[in-house]
């Protein structure tokens, strides 16, 4: 019943969004100056709209970089950037939804430069978060916190999407990006599968509430079990085998971790036969080196193609060949992981005992969302975690693992976009280094503080609420900024069509 009401509400919202889109296009057409005062009005408004948005060979983009000096803008921007990086690193979203409005409204960068510097900050925050998480263990299983198989499925697609998104950032006008931004963050309903994954803020918040309630019930059960029975024996905690019969000598994962938390936090005596999870192992043992090596190889190959492309003539045959060579590299690695998942030779172990039925269409959809996350990240200056985070939660990945794995994948994609924006000369290096440093420190602080809170309260659902809050706040701030700038450009009758990537000169 609740799902049906939510779907109806989102259908209404999507209809309103699409109506607003056509209103904006109509306003743009009306704002176009007439070439002749005596010219008869043209009845074909669709054709007129496309003529207004046609590709033009003149380069119109001019960056706006304020001088780097100590002032209130720097102070306020640093504080907001610190908070955005701290919460964004915990939620696994990067914080780009806070960085871009801060850079544009407070410090004074133009929108496209704000996007590029935002990726620098996301890279700094992601690097700090990965350094913190790479030693951490899975909350319920004898595994690393980062799910390397999950990263291997999504990261190559994310990197491919980044390259596409950076190109779109050069081509698309700001108002187009604004419309896409609002649709993506708030959600659209062209199909049921899209609904499940794109109504991100609401879905994440509801997921957080469900997780909070489950944690409350399980904490009470575990505490009652310890209090009433005193000591547990290995035979008292059982799970069911595949045949439905009790299996002696094992514990359900969620129940086990709750007992671990209660025993360690309250200094309870360890029950006889109860196995405490290893909370710390050596760094070498905690890394899946084969999967990490594949991810690094993909990153290096794409980086080499980007550098080679920088030395070719834009839009030449060599330029497009180097662009399209990224597809076999990225699709090949993701397909390798997808085939192994489909055949059952690999599994997403972080899901615990849950059996995943990997169908072909589902794997294709997941890879498609990886590309989409990269496109939006490169185009809008966001972290791909805005899509990957809610998607991982829908897949049944625990919140801590979801956040850590999304950030791990974002480190590769965000650093790649920084290289691409550097080759395009889209940001001033002193500002980028300073703000990336602020984000790096903030990410360390955020991970440490929130990690302590989760250990004290025993509630990983805090991460889901932070994720939902960051998505909602980003939708409001970025959407508001884009609409305000769009209105000003309409009033000034500025050109608001596509740019020509072939005429772009860094």
Could you read off the pLDDT of 250-259 as tens digits, one per residue? 344 444 555 5
Which residues, in sequence order, are CB contacts of 174 under 8 Å at separation 6+? 111, 112, 482, 485, 486, 489, 496
- Spatial CB neighbours of 221, under 8 Å, sequence gap ≥ 6: 255, 258
Kindly compute the dihedral angle of the four CA atoms of residues 428, 430, 436, 441, in this order, to the nearest 10 degrees: -170
Secondary structure E strands in 431-482 = none
Length of the chain: 506
> How would residue 247 be classed by pLDDT, with cut points 50, 70 and 90?
very low
Backbone angles phi, psi at 42, to 5 degrees: -90, 130
Is 28 in contact with 49 (CB distance < 8 Å)? yes
Contact (CB, 8 A) for 174 and 495: no
| Mean pLDDT for the chain overall | 69
Residue 258 burial by CB count (10 A; 0-12/13-18/19+): exposed, middle or buried?
buried
End-to-end CA distance of the chain: 54
**At residue 301, does pLDDT exceed 60?**
yes
Better pLDDT: 340 or 42: 340
Summarize pLDDT for 447-501 with one digit per residue, the tens. Answer: 777 767 666 665 555 555 565 555 666 566 666 666 666 676 677 766 666 666 6
pLDDT band at residue 24, thresholds of 50, 70 and 90? very low
pLDDT for the residue numbered 31: 43
Tell me phi and psi for residue 137, to 5 degrees.
Answer: -105, 155
- How much is the pLDDT for 218? 56
**Tokens read off for 170:** 């050069």
Between 124 and 400, the higher pLDDT residue: 124
Give CA–CA dist 325/168, Å, rounded: 18
Count of C-beta atoms within a 10 Å radius of residue 3? 10
- Radius of gyration over alpha carbons of the chain, in Å? 25
For 167, other C-beta atoms within 10 Å of its C-beta total 18
Coil, helix or strand at residue 425 = coil
The pLDDT value recorded for residue 193 is: 38
Listing DSSP states for 320-362 in one string gives HHHHHTHHHHHHHHHHHHHHHHHHTSS--GGGTTPPP---HHH
Instruction: Identify the sign of the CA torsion 64, 70, 73, 77.
Output: positive
Outline where DSSP puts E strands in 195-347.
239-240, 246-247
- Three-state DSSP string of 380-416: HCCCCHHHHHHHHHHCCCCHHHHHHHHHHHHHHHHHH
The mean pLDDT value for 111-132 works out to 85
Which tokens is 241 given? 């085998």
**Given pLDDT bands bounded at 50, 70 and 90, which one contains residue 223?**
low
191: helix, strand or coil? coil
62-85 tens-digit pLDDT: 667 878 788 888 888 888 888 878
Take residue 450 and report the two structure tokens written for it: 């929130």
Rounded to 5 degrees, φ, ψ at 311 are -95, 10
Would the CA dihedral through 422, 467, 454, 280 be positive or negative?
Answer: negative
Note whether 93 and 456 are within 8 A (CB): no
Mean pLDDT score, 212-227: 57
Q: Which of 194, 197, 193, 179 lies closest to 16 in space, CA to CA?
A: 179
Least confident of 164-173, 329-338, 447-456, 461-470: 461-470
* Inter-CA distances, 23 with 10, 28, 172, Å: 20, 9, 19
Count Cβ atoms within 10 A of the Cβ of residue 12 and give its class: 0-12 exposed, 13-18 middle, 19 or more buried: exposed
| Average pLDDT of the segment spanning 199-207 | 50
DSSP at 137:
B
Percent of the chain with pLDDT over 90: 2
Look at the block and give the residue holding tokens 């597809």.
327
| Residue 246, φ and ψ in degrees, nearest 5 | -60, 135
Q: Residue 214: is its pLDDT beyond 50?
A: yes
* Helix spans in 92-186 (H): 96-101, 111-133, 148-171, 174-186
Give pLDDT tens digits for 411-462. 888 888 888 888 878 888 888 899 999 989 988 887 777 767 666 665 555 5
């Amino acid at each position: 019943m609740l799902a049906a009401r939510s779907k109806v509400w989102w259908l209404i919202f999507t209809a309103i969004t699409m109506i607003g889109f056509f209103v904006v296009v109509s306003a743009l057409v009306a704002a176009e100056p007439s070439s002749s005062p005596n010219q008869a009005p043209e009845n074909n408004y669709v054709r007129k709209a496309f003529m207004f948005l046609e590709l033009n060979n003149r380069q119109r983009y001019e960056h706006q970089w304020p001088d780097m000096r100590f002032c209130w803008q720097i102070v306020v921007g640093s504080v907001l950037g610190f908070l955005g990086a701290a919460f964004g690193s915990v939620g696994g979203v990067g914080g780009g939804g806070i960085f871009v409005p801060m850079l544009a409204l407070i410090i004074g960068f133009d929108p496209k430069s704000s996007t590029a510097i935002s990726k620098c900050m996301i890279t700094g925050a992601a690097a700090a978060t990965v350094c913190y998480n790479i030693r951490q263990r899975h909350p319920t299983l004898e595994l690393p916190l980062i799910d390397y198989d999950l990263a291997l499925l999504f990261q190559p697609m994310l990197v491919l999407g980044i390259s596409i998104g950076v190109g779109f950032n050069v081509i698309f006008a700001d108002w187009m990006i604004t419309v896409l931004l609002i649709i993506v963050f708030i959600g659209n309903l062209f199909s049921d599968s899209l609904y499940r994954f794109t109504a991100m803020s609401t879905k994440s918040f509801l997921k957080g509430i469900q997780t909070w309630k489950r944690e409350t019930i399980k904490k009470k059960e575990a505490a009652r079990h310890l209090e009433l029975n005193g000591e547990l024996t290995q035979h008292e905690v059982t799970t069911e085998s595949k045949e439905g019969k009790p299996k002696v000598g094992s514990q359900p994962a969620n129940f086990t971790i709750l007992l671990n938390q209660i025993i360690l936090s309250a200094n309870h005596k360890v029950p006889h036969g109860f196995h405490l999870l290893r909370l710390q192992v050596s760094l070498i043992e905690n890394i899946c080196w084969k999967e990490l090596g594949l991810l690094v190889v993909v990153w290096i190959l794409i980086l080499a193609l980007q550098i080679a492309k920088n030395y070719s003539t834009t839009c030449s045959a060599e330029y497009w060949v180097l662009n399209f060579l990224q597809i076999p590299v990225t699709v090949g690695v993701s397909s390798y992981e997808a085939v192994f998942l489909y055949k059952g030779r690999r599994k997403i172990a972080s899901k615990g005992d849950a059996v995943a039925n990997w169908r072909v269409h589902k794997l294709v959809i997941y890879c498609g969302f990886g590309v989409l996350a990269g496109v939006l990240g490169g185009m809008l200056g966001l972290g791909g975690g805005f899509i990957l985070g809610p998607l991982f939660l829908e897949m049944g990945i625990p919140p801590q693992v979801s956040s850590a794995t999304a950030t791990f994948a974002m480190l590769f994609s965000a650093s790649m976009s920084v290289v691409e924006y550097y080759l395009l000369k889209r940001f001033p290096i002193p500002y980028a280094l300073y703000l990336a440093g602020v984000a790096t420190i903030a990410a360390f602080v955020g991970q440490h503080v929130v990690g302590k809170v989760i250990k004290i309260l025993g509630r990983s659902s805090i991460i889901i609420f932070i994720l939902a809050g960051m998505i909602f706040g980003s939708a409001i701030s970025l959407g508001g900024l884009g609409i305000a700038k769009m209105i000003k450009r309409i009033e000034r009758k500025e050109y608001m069509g596509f740019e020509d990537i072939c005429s772009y000169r860094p």
